[in-house]
């Protein structure tokens, strides 16, 4: 037993899934990896290339060639669409469940009743559509920064209420509603008046606090994402944490996956996150580490090929440094969670297969298959530690030359 390390290059997909013409036609032809390489013929990614990136892509392009020593595969997405939150829950071993899409006002009365039952002081605010004000310092309403009807925000003033109390309100909301996510968060130097002044209404039925305008992100920001049908008890971090096995979640994954027994380090800047990852690896003789590199995804949303390629170069160089720290027993998996093709003509995620690039000293030239779900990575992680199974996924550990 040693260390099991997962690096998620957020949005670095390797081609549209077969169901895209039926379920997501705007993503037809998407291939984040191929289109970036084609657009940047001078780009060099020697570590990823050696580990089998082009093998997973399935086509040599320019100077990028197949690796003769790669241990690799590809994986479909089991969750609907292509979502970072749901993608990471899937990676951790969750069976994705289909959420509802509905404005907050469709469920506001049920949420109000649940909060009142728990002893909260709750008021309705708004003209046409309404949102809720809880204990005079927390609002509950639609998220205005994503597709309508998919996410509700629980937004709090951390000078008036602590983050654990905001989370508790979020969990009450989560227990009632069936949309994809409830995001509970707060910031410092934010007043009730700031939240109310930032209330916006869309289409007469969606209403919420414009979070950037409220100032909640500027100081002391804390957040937790609560997903529909997500049970942390059957996910990798909780399973391993309960066994006393060290767990470290780094980057955006620290914000979106529950890790009550381990270390969570949030952040965005890629080099800093890799440094934190290497530090965590060096601290543990055995344990599980998952890193999310978000800046690739941000470049995809900005439709910025240059920035995307630059973040890949940084990641490639740090992956080489990370590999130097690994021992004979360690396993490294490099993957994505969906696509975000900056050349496709829109700025949203793209529904793409993801690469599975595996490094273990002494292991070479192996294809682990076209996996049906990214949960196979989580299933392999718990198998590696001889831990109870995740809710979803099939281990590929038996395909590697490693005794459990």
pLDDT at residue number 39? 97
Which pair of tokens denotes residue 38?
């084609």
pLDDT at residue number 128? 86
* Sequence ranges of the domains in the chain: 3-97+231-399, 104-227
pLDDT at residue number 146? 79
Residues near 232 by beta carbon (within 8 Å), at least 6 away in sequence: 238, 257, 258, 260
Q: Which CATH number fits domain 3-97+231-399: 3.90.25.10, 3.40.50.10320, 3.20.20.480, 3.40.720.10?
A: 3.40.720.10
pLDDT at residue number 145? 82
pLDDT at residue number 97? 83
Going from the first residue of the chain to its last (404 residues), give the mean pLDDT of each consecutive group of 10, the final group possibly shorter: 96 98 96 98 98 98 97 96 92 90 97 98 93 98 88 97 97 95 95 96 92 93 89 97 98 93 95 98 97 96 96 98 96 98 95 98 94 98 98 96 52
pLDDT at residue number 159? 97
pLDDT at residue number 178? 95
| Closest among 305, 353, 270, 385 to 30, alpha carbons compared | 353
| Closest among 110, 89, 84 to 228, alpha carbons compared | 89
């Amino acid at each position: 037993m040693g260390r099991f390390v997962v690096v998620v290059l957020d949005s670095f997909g390797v081609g549209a899934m077969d169901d895209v013409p039926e379920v997501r036609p705007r993503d037809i032809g998407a291939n984040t990896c191929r289109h970036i390489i084609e657009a940047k013929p001078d780009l060099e990614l020697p570590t990823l290339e050696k580990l089998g990136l082009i093998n997973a892509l399935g086509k040599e392009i320019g100077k990028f060639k197949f690796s003769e020593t790669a241990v690799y595969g590809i994986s479909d997405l089991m969750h609907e669409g292509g979502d970072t939150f749901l993608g990471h829950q899937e990676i951790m071993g969750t069976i994705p469940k289909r959420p509802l899409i509905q404005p907050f006002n469709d469920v506001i009365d049920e949420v109000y009743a649940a909060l009142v039952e728990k002893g909260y002081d709750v008021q309705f605010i708004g003209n046409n559509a309404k949102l809720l004000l809880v204990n005079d310092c927390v609002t509950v309403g639609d998220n205005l920064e994503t597709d309508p009807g998919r996410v509700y925000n629980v937004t709090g003033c951390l000078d008036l209420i602590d983050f654990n109390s905001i989370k508790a309100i979020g969990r009450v909301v989560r227990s009632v509603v069936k949309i994809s996510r409830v995001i509970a968060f707060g910031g410092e130097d934010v007043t009730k008046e700031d939240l109310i002044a930032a209330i916006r209404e869309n289409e007469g039925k969606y209403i919420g606090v414009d979070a950037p305008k409220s100032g909640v992100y500027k100081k002391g920001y804390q957040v937790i994402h609560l997903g529909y049908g997500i049970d942390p008890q059957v996910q990798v971090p909780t399973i391993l944490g309960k066994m006393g096995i060290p767990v470290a979640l780094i980057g955006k994954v620290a914000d979106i996956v529950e890790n009550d027994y381990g270390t969570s380090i949030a952040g965005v800047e890629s080099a800093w996150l890799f440094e934190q990852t290497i530090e965590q690896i060096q601290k543990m003789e055995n344990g599980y580490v998952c890193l999310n590199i978000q800046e690739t995804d941000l470049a995809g949303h900005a439709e910025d090929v240059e920035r995307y390629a630059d973040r890949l170069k940084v990641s490639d160089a740090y992956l080489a440094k990370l590999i130097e720290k690994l021992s004979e027993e360690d396993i490294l998996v490099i993957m994505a969670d969906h696509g975000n093709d900056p050349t496709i003509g829109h700025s949203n995620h793209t529904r793409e297969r993801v690469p599975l690039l595996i490094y273990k000293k002494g292991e070479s030239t192996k294809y682990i298959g076209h996996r049906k779900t990214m949960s196979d990575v989580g299933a392999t992680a718990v198998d590696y530690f001889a831990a109870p199974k995740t809710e979803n996924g099939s281990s590929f550990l038996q395909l590697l030359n490693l005794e459990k």
